[in-house]
């Protein structure tokens, strides 16, 4: 969501004449778009702000803006801790940022706007000339679920869905500008439109599936309690919908799930996985897991490990529970020691490593369809000015596995036509977080495209 919001900000500021720089020392304006989902994210934001203080000392005209969830939650505290900040803007006022910048420039005083009362910005104005091959489009904002560990409902507000026609229009505009793959974004996409009586999420997916020129659709994040049969069937019926679902479970223990206010049981989750796999046996399933939730007994953590053995996830984002002041769990008893949380986290990650390795290895010798996203980062970091004989490119399979492949051409421009194309790649090697392969060529040595 923050990445998407940053895109919106960038797009708005380009009208004011601002351009993006990759060297922070050259910047006239630095915007820090913060996240407070976990303690670490918050610490990172404050430590970055500390670095900005040095920069501002050296360059007094530099403007610093802080936005996002931390700004929403801690506006007063921010002013105390980092008084040099010029602008503080909340999650609901993105559209007013250009005016806030002008106000701070004019008055020389900190401009603050963390008003949550208005309707959050929904329609996006798109000014950027180039759109990435794969990008996010938000379909809803906020969350009404109130999981007890989570700060999102308090810093992002109530759940509101965008109109389906707005979403479809935005995708169409982006496709015209070069986007090939869209990830529909929301805290809980499965409840899209319910409150407002709009189209359902599976209907929205069907509309996106009809958009000419769009090649792939993904979505994130789904709440297991709202994963409907219609959505499960969409994986079977919509050819553009990728073969992957991210379905955060958070814990394998019913007692902990209840304390988390997740509103589903381990059994209900397993049943939904069963339905997904009966429709799409090879669907990639990834999840989020929290270890060390207040009161989590060793036996309850063992239930989580056991669930992982039953499901064999393709990938896992695992976190040690951290207190979020606004979230109810922060006042629960039976907090676990940091050492215990860390130990459990390592155990969990260690177990997952084996499944990820196994799942990745299963791709060896298979031909997969890769949407080419661009040269891989490795090219740039190694020798930035050298045009390498073996140029590494990167893309993803429908299962969201990163595939790096090499093209032995010296001319960069002759590879450019591959950007945004679906090509066939034979997988040769499975690494811990990616696959390596070679594009399949025809008898003339030309790369073959997927239909
Ligand atoms: N502590 C640890 N992890 C958390 N998450 C959300 N809140 C917390 C918290 N207080 C994790 C959940 C969620 C992911 C985005 O972050 O797993 O799915
Ligand atoms: Fe947070 Fe739960 Fe909402 Fe996800 S569903 S954003 S974890 S409250």
- C-alpha of residue 248 to centroid of ligand 2, in Å: 10
As for ligand 2, residues whose beta carbon falls within 6 Å of it are 143, 145-147, 150, 152-153, 187-188, 223
Read off the pLDDT band of 384 (50, 70, 90). Answer: very low
pTM for the predicted model, two decimal places:
0.91
Of 361, 394, 411, the residue that ends a domain is: 361
Q: Is the pLDDT of residue 411 over 80?
A: no
Report the nearest atom of ligand 2 relative to the CA of 151. 1
Q: Is the pLDDT of residue 367 over 90?
A: yes
Q: Is the pLDDT of residue 267 over 70?
A: yes
Residues 168 and 251 in one domain: yes
Residue 445 lies in a domain: no
Residues 43 and 90 in one domain: yes
- C-alpha of residue 322 to centroid of ligand 1, in Å: 8
Q: What is the mean pLDDT of residues 68-90?
A: 91
> Taking phi first (over 0 means left), then psi (-120 to 50 degrees means alpha), and beta for anything else, what does residue 124 get?
beta
Read off the pLDDT band of 60 (50, 70, 90). Answer: confident
Residues 75 and 167 in one domain: no
- Among candidate residues 136, 105, 124, 230, the one with its CA nearest the CA of residue 169: 124
The whole-angstrom distance between residue 94's C-alpha and the CA centroid of its chain comes to 19
Instruction: CATH number of the domain at 246, please.
Output: 3.80.30.20
Taking CA atoms only, the protein residue closest to ligand 1 atom 14 is: 288
Number of domains in the chain: 3
Report the chain's mean pLDDT, rounded to a whole number: 91
14-52 pLDDT, tens digit per residue, is 888 899 998 999 999 999 999 999 899 889 999 999 899
Q: Is the pLDDT of residue 377 over 80?
A: no
Query: Could you tell me the end-to-end alpha-carbon distance of the chain, in angstroms, rounded to an integer?
Result: 32
Q: Which ligand is nearest to the CA of 247?
A: 1
Residues 145 and 83 in one domain: no
Residues 357 and 432 in one domain: no
- C-alpha of residue 151 to centroid of ligand 1, in Å: 9
Instruction: CATH number of the domain at 59, please.
Output: 3.40.50.12160
pLDDT at 123: 45
* C-alpha span between 75 and 112 (Å, rounded): 8
Residues 276 and 382 in one domain: no
118-129 pLDDT, tens digit per residue, is 665 544 555 455
pLDDT at 118: 66
Q: Which ligand is nearest to the CA of 148?
A: 2
- C-alpha of residue 332 to centroid of ligand 1, in Å: 16
pLDDT at 3: 86
Is ligand 1 within 6 A of the CB of residue 293? Answer: no
Q: Is the pLDDT of residue 381 over 60?
A: no
Residue 341 lies in a domain: yes
Residues 375 and 331 in one domain: no
Residue 153 lies in a domain: yes
Domain coverage including residue 425 = 367-439
> Taking phi first (over 0 means left), then psi (-120 to 50 degrees means alpha), and beta for anything else, what does residue 400 get?
left
Residues 197 and 335 in one domain: yes
Taking CA atoms only, the protein residue closest to ligand 1 atom 18 is: 288
Copy the structure tokens of residue 234. Answer: 């969409």
Taking CA atoms only, the protein residue closest to ligand 2 atom 5 is: 145
């Amino acid at each position: 969501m923050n990445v998407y919001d940053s895109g919106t900000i960038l797009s708005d500021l380009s009208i004011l004449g601002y351009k993006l720089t990759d060297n922070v020392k050259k910047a006239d304006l630095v915007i820090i778009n913060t996240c407070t989902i976990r303690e670490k994210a918050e610490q990172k934001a404050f430590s970055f702000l500390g670095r900005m203080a040095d920069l501002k000392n050296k360059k007094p005209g530099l403007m610093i803006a802080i936005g996002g969830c931390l700004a929403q939650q801690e506006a007063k505290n921010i002013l105390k801790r980092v008084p040099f900040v010029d602008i503080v803007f909340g999650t609901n006022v993105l559209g007013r940022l250009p005016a806030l910048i002008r106000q701070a420039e004019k008055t020389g005083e900190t401009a603050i706007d963390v008003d949550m009362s208005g309707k959050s910005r929904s329609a996006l104005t798109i000014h950027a000339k180039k759109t990435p091959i794969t990008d996010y489009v938000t379909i809803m904002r906020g969350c009404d679920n109130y999981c007890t560990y989570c700060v999102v409902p308090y810093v992002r507000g109530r759940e509101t869905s965008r109109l389906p026609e707005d979403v479809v229009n935005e995708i169409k505009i982006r496709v015209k500008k070069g986007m090939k793959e869209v990830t529909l974004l929301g805290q809980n996409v499965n409840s899209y439109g319910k409150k407002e009586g709009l189209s359902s999420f599976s209907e929205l997916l069907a509309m996106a599936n009809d958009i000419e020129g769009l090649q792939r659709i993904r979505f994130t994040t789904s709440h297991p309690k709202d994963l409907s049969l219609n959505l499960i069937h969409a994986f079977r019926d919509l050819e553009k919908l990728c073969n992957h679902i991210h379905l955060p479970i958070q814990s394998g223990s019913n007692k902990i799930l209840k304390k988390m206010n997740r509103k589903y049981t381990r059994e209900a989750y397993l049943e939904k996985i069963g339905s997904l796999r009966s429709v799409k046996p090879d669907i990639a399933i990834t999840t989020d897991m929290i270890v060390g939730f207040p009161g989590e007994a060793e036996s309850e953590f063992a239930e989580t490990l056991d669930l992982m053995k039953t499901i064999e996830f393709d990938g896992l984002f695992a976190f040690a529970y951290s207190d979020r002041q606004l979230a109810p769990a922060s006042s629960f008893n039976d907090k676990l020691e940091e050492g215990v949380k860390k130990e459990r986290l390592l155990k969990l990650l260690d177990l997952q490593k084996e499944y990820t390795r196994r799942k990745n290895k299963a791709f060896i010798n298979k031909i997969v369809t890769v949407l080419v996203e661009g040269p891989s980062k490795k090219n740039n970091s190694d020798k930035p000015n050298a045009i390498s004989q073996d140029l590494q490119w990167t893309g993803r399979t429908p299962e969201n596995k990163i595939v790096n492949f090499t093209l032995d051409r010296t001319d960069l421009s002759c590879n450019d036509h591959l950007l945004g194309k679906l090509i066939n790649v034979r997988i040769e090697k499975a690494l811990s977080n990616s696959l390596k392969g070679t594009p399949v060529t025809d008898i003339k040595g030309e790369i073959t495209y997927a239909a």
